[in-house]
């Protein structure tokens, strides 16, 4: 383990990583200049001491990794302002003749900047991913995401012999709102409806802006009766909201159609078609109402 002093200075003090050598008795045998500067302690303050005493702020990871009996690599974070992230490698040294542990070499590389960059890139990728599946105006899911989610939920419902329902709703007279009160008021109404649906839907429901003033809500494990009752509650509650200025305040209503899997469609396309048909029925009968697909079927049959 002993090194010629000149060789030690050349090797250890010119290594860009932090290097620590401890002996078989778990005492510090040597350290390089980089580690001295990083700790703010001279070699005289380090040699011969217990590492747990020298690295007082590090006991949590020291107890786990510093005294490893096989080569170990681990990333550790040291608290501070800002926190520091190190990539730590512990390499046990064994006596060639007795095979007894004679010490360890610990090499630590400061990877704080790399981790910050990785975290930044990860956040950026997550943001880009969210933008790809979110409607930019309302923040709810877009049509592309909904199509994928519907296929997945139908597949799961099929496996589990379960049910699901969808509610397709359309804001009533939206063009008139834009023409009379302006597009900013129209955008406000769309955003308000999206937030209202998010706040008043069940956990696990998927809210989507399907296009223009049209929204679709996917409700896993919901019966047609449950979905209808929920949609009717939305209609009544949202209809009480007021938009625009006090002098030109107005209310917004919506029409909706409800369809259920597997009763009204064996796949996503058929289910959406059924909900759209029920929505059309609501709009053609005066708007501001909810139509269950089976109700339309029964009425047509009569």
Q: How far apart are the first and last CA of the chain?
A: 97
Q: What is the pLDDT of residue 3?
A: 47
- What percent of the chain has a predicted confidence (pLDDT) above 90? 47
DSSP 302: -
Average pLDDT over residues 212-229: 96
Q: What is the pLDDT of residue 101?
A: 85
Q: What is the pLDDT of residue 243?
A: 84
Spatial distance between the Cα atoms of 140 and 161, rounded to a whole number of angstroms: 29
C-beta of residue 271 within 8 angstroms of C-beta of residue 279: no
Q: Which residues are catalytic?
A: 213
Least confident of 99-108, 120-129, 292-301: 292-301
Q: What is the pLDDT of residue 44?
A: 86
Helices (DSSP H) in the chain: which residue ranges?
5-12, 33-39, 43-46, 51-54, 59-61, 112-133, 143-159, 174-181, 183-200, 224-238, 268-284, 293-301
Residue 62 confidence (pLDDT) above 70: no
Q: What is the pLDDT of residue 102?
A: 86
Higher-pLDDT residue of 161, 3: 161
**Residue 104: phi, psi to the nearest 5?**
-145, 150
Q: What is the DSSP string of 217-269?
A: EEEET--HHHHHHHHHHHHHHHTT--BS-STT-B---EEEEEEEETTS-SSHH
Spatial distance between the Cα atoms of 23 and 43, rounded to a whole number of angstroms: 16
Across 22-31, 63-72, 217-226, the highest mean pLDDT is recorded for 217-226
- pLDDT tens per residue across span 141-175: 999 999 999 999 999 999 999 999 999 999 999 99
The domains of the chain, with CATH numbers, are 5-116 (3.30.450.20), 134-301 (3.30.70.270)
- pLDDT tens per residue across span 187-201: 999 999 999 999 999
Q: Mean pLDDT in the chain?
A: 86
Higher-pLDDT residue of 131, 266: 266
Average pLDDT over residues 259-286: 95
Residue 302 confidence (pLDDT) above 80: no
Average pLDDT over residues 46-74: 73
Q: What is the pLDDT of residue 269?
A: 95
Q: What is the pLDDT of residue 106?
A: 86
Higher-pLDDT residue of 66, 74: 74
C-beta of residue 71 within 8 angstroms of C-beta of residue 90: yes
DSSP 202: P
Strands of 254-261's sheet in order across: 206-211, 214-220, 164-171, 254-261, 290-292
Quick one: which of 197, 289, 182, 200 has its CA closest to 243? 182
Q: Using 50, 70 and 90 to split pLDDT, how confident is the model at 301?
A: very low
Q: Using 50, 70 and 90 to split pLDDT, how confident is the model at 246?
A: confident
């Amino acid at each position: 383990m002993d090194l010629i002093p000149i060789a030690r200075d050349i090797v250890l003090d010119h290594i860009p990583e932090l290097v620590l050598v401890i002996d078989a008795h778990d005492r510090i045998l040597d350290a390089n200049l980089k580690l001295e500067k990083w700790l703010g302690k001279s070699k005289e303050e380090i040699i011969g001491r217990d590492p747990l005493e020298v690295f007082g702020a590090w006991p949590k990871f020291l107890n786990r990794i510093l005294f490893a009996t096989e080569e170990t690599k681990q990333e550790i974070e040291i608290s501070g302002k800002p926190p520091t992230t190190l990539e730590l490698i512990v390499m046990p040294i064994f006596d060639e003749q007795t095979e007894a542990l004679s010490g360890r070499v610990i090499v630590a590389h400061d990877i704080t900047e790399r981790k910050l960059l990785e975290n930044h890139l990860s956040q950026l990728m997550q943001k880009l991913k969210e933008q790809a599946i979110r409607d930019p105006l309302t923040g709810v899911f877009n049509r592309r995401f909904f199509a994928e989610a519907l296929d997945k939920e139908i597949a799961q419902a099929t496996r589990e012999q379960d049910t699901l329902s969808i509610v397709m709703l359309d804001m009533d007279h939206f063009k008139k709102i834009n023409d009379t009160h302006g597009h900013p008021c129209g955008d406000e109404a769309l955003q308000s409806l999206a937030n209202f649906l998010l706040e008043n839907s069940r956990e696990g429901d998927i809210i989507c802006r399907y296009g223009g003033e049209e929204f679709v809500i996917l409700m896993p494990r919901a019966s047609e009766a449950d979905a209808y009752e929920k949609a009717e509650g939305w209609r009544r509650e949202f209809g009480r909201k007021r938009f625009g200025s006090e002098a030109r305040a107005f209310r917004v209503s919506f029409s909706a159609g409800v369809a259920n899997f597997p009763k009204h469609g064996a796949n996503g396309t058929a289910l959406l078609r059924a909900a759209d048909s029920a929505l059309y029925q609501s709009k053609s009968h005066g708007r501001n109402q909810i139509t269950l697909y089976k109700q339309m079927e029964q009425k047509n049959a009569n």
